[in-house]
Structure 1
Amino acid sequence: MNFVLKEENGFSYIDEGEGEVLLLLHGLMGALSNWEKVVEEFSKEYRVIIPILPVYDLPLLTTGVKTLTKYVHKFVRYKKLKNVTLLGNSLGGHVALIYTLAHPTVVKALVLTGSSGLYENAFGGSFPKRGSYDFVKEKVEYTFYDPATATKELVDDVFRIINDRHSVIRILAMAKSAIRHNMKDDLHKITIPVSLIWGRDDKITPPEVAVEFNEELPNSELHWIDKCGHAAMMEQPEEFNKLLKQFLDKIKE
């Protein structure tokens, strides 16, 4: 990525372009690079901001989706952001949902892809084995429809994270927090426009999760991307960007 990482007031983030704000939230073991093609495409017309979520830096006792949501709120207040369109993948989608419920006047619209909040099959249903590179490679590949999307760089990053005891304890705490914090009973309260852009071959948050989100969110639309797993904006960026543009054009004031 050729974008400048800014460090200010305890926040690390990318802030590219000008215009209405697209605030992008990455997943549990996601990174800023996950959104690279979205930033490249939409920073021509929008102000695209991606904060690094402090998944591995929170005190263990407070590691959870609510604490991440409070962090996002502090960031939004610090940057004085308004009329934001929130985009979230995986855990980032979950945080976006909680944030929208807590601060409805700030969020104009939501885009969710492979979002947790109802059900997720983390690590393909098994504990992350430390030390086994092949196991980690297999689990990163499981995230995608095409295993080739799991580049060596991506596998190396995840391998490094889960072989750090400090990080892996927080990953497990965060995953448990996400499972506990089920959104089903609250989704009907979110009445802003929501676009669900989902990989038809997502094994982490499978298609029935997207269907349930669509049923429970009163102002939502559901779009499928074929031959695509859990991170549509990485695996099928052109199709993802096309669907995102259609939604953003529709909600323009």
Structure 2
Amino acid sequence: VFLLNGIFMSTKSWYPESSVLSKKYRVILHDFRGQWQSKKPEGKYTFGMHADDLYQLVKKLKLEKIHLIGTSYGGEVAMTFAIKYRDLLKSLLIITSVSEIDLHLKLIAERWKNAVRTKNVEIFINEWLGDTYSENFLKSNLDAIYPRLIEAFKVFDFNAGEKLIDCFLELYKNPLTPYLNKINIPTAVIASELDTLKPPKYSRIIHNEIKNSEFHIIQNSGHAVVIEKPEEINTILLGFLEKAKMKRI
């Protein structure tokens, strides 16, 4: 089982899921090029490059077929991988992701890009925090998570962060939606009820385009549902992976 990060996530953010999944599956986490512990090569990044990097990793580990789970940016990489390398997949699970971008989401991403260009940790975090978490989660957890975020992002590479945002913005002109009908493996799509960044309408587009996909919506959670509602996510993941195994793809 591969878990693919959101745009500014690190592999640690998956702990509530990876710690549960690893009891039944071999779990592999990695940072994309431009993220945290991975290299940050010169030049622009594309979802195709991220998918190719993942392909190289799968081959290096000598794995025949994998279950692929991605959230947000990681879901967009996962869909790209499924379009390019579907023969390597047993199943696909997409969490709060998009296959296209409307003008509203484009403007949010450009706002994030302006913040990343300041290279100021607090300005940057304050810009996306409210877009990412639900009101109730922030009310209960902000005092605990804010100092940790400030500390973690002291080593954030802002130049690479800008390139990751540029990669995401490519979906405005070049959406994945027209290619989703090529995906013919067991797929589940998870949306989050209170997600204002990538609201459920985007997950419905993905669900409608991928034949026989499952659709789930998590109540009372914002965009970062893997952090806000890990128990509910784990229930869906474990149930779905079990079903995908039974199909012996």
TM-score range, shorter chain: 0.7 to 0.9
Q: Distance in 2 between matches of 1:167 and 1:62?
A: 9
Q: How far is 1:103 from its partner?
A: 1.2
Identity of aligned residues (%): 25
* Residues 99 and 206, structure 2, Cα contact 8 Å, conserved in 1: no
Q: How far is 1:77 from its partner?
A: 0.5
Q: Distance in 1 between matches of 2:220 and 2:107?
A: 20
Residues 217/232 of structure 1: CA separation in 2 closer, same or farther (3 Å cut)? same
CA deviation vs aligned residue, 1:208-247 (integer Å, no higher than 9, x gap): 0011111111121111111111222111000110111121
Give the equivalent residue in structure 2 for 1:222.
215
Give the equivalent residue in structure 2 for 1:244.
237
CA deviation vs aligned residue, 1:32-90 (integer Å, no higher than 9, x gap): 01210111111111111112211254434341211111111110100011221100011
SS in 2 for 1:109: strand
Between 1:122-131 and 1:38-47, the stretch displaced more is: 122-131
> What are the equivalent positions in structure 2 for 1:126-205 lying under 5 Å apart?
126=111, 127-129=113-115, 130=118, 131=120, 133=122, 136-145=125-134, 146-147=137-138, 148-149=140-141, 151-152=145-146, 153-158=148-153, 160-161=155-156, 164-205=157-198
SS in 1 for 2:83: helix
Q: How far is 1:171 from its partner?
A: 2.9
1:211 pairs with 2:211: no
Higher helix share: 2
CA deviation vs aligned residue, 1:157-195 (integer Å, no higher than 9, x gap): 34653xx44334323332333444411111111011111
Give the equivalent residue in structure 1 for 2:17.
38
SS in 1 for 2:2: strand
* Residues 55 and 68, structure 1, Cα contact 8 Å, conserved in 2: no
Residues 224/71 of structure 1: CA separation in 2 closer, same or farther (3 Å cut)? same
Q: Distance in 1 between matches of 2:107 and 2:123?
A: 14
- The number of residues matched between the two structures is 230
Between 1:47-56 and 1:28-37, the stretch displaced more is: 47-56
Q: Distance in 1 between matches of 2:224 and 2:69?
A: 12
Residues 90/122 of structure 1: CA separation in 2 closer, same or farther (3 Å cut)? farther
Residues 58/176 of structure 1: CA separation in 2 closer, same or farther (3 Å cut)? farther
| Structure 1 residues without counterparts, runs of 5 or longer | 1-21
| RMSD value, Cα | 2.2
Residues 177/61 of structure 1: CA separation in 2 closer, same or farther (3 Å cut)? farther
Q: Which runs of 4+ in 1 moved over 6 A?
A: none
Give the equivalent residue in structure 2 for 1:3.
none
Higher strand share: 1
SS in 1 for 2:3: strand
1:24 pairs with 2:3: yes
Among 65, 70, 82, which residue is 1:100 paired with? Answer: 82
Between 1:70-79 and 1:242-251, the stretch displaced more is: 242-251
* Residues 128 and 136, structure 1, Cα contact 8 Å, conserved in 2: no
Give the equivalent residue in structure 2 for 1:86.
68
Give the equivalent residue in structure 2 for 1:9.
none
| Structure 2 residues without counterparts, runs of 5 or longer | none
